[in-house]
Amino acid sequence: MHELPAVEDLIRTLDEESENKGISEISEIHIVIGELSSYIGECVQMYFDFLSEGHSCENAKLVFHHKKARFKCSSCGHEFDHEKDFACPLCGGEGRIIKGTGKEFLISSIKTP
Ligand SMILES: [Zn+2]
């Protein structure tokens, strides 16, 4: 349900982008979704199908890229992707999440026919 405003924003951004660059049709949209963002690709797709009608991005294919959260070790300062647990892969120290990581919901690229 919370995907709705996010998809509205997404389409607004695509409209602006199309207008600025003189694009009349978008064929593919790559979207980055952070693992902690709680956005679900299927829901994004559902709202997109519904909301994109009449826009330059209508009928575009959505390609989702899932991104892991990043952690920083509190002992040695090493930064690493969240895998199975929060322990530092170098020293076993406690990893703390880097604020904002894993919560992405953004367009990484678009393709035109
Ligand atoms: Zn460490």
CA 95 to ligand 1 centroid distance, Å: 7
Domain count, the chain: 1
**Whole-model pTM?**
0.85
Q: What is the pLDDT of residues 50-102, one digit of tens each?
A: 999 999 999 999 999 999 999 999 999 999 998 888 899 999 999 999 999 99
CA 110 to ligand 1 centroid distance, Å: 37
Q: What is the pLDDT of residues 3-59, one digit of tens each?
A: 999 999 999 999 999 999 999 999 999 999 999 998 999 999 999 999 999 999 999
CA 85 to ligand 1 centroid distance, Å: 13
Q: Is residue 42 in some structural domain?
A: yes
- Nearest CA among 16, 29, 6, 35 for reference residue 102: 35
CATH number at residue 44: 3.30.2320.50
Q: Is residue 58 in some structural domain?
A: yes
Q: Is residue 88 in some structural domain?
A: no
CA 80 to ligand 1 centroid distance, Å: 9
pLDDT of residue 88: 96
pLDDT at 107 over 90: yes
Q: Is residue 87 in some structural domain?
A: no
CA 65 to ligand 1 centroid distance, Å: 28
CA 101 to ligand 1 centroid distance, Å: 18
64, amino acid identity: F
Q: Is residue 96 in some structural domain?
A: no
Asked if residues 31 and 3 have their Cβ atoms less than 8 Å apart, the reply is no
Which long-range contacts (C-beta less than 8 Å, at least 24 apart) are formed by 76-84? 82/35
pLDDT of residue 59: 93
Share of the chain above pLDDT 70, in %: 99
Asked if residues 23 and 56 have their Cβ atoms less than 8 Å apart, the reply is yes
pLDDT of residue 1: 64
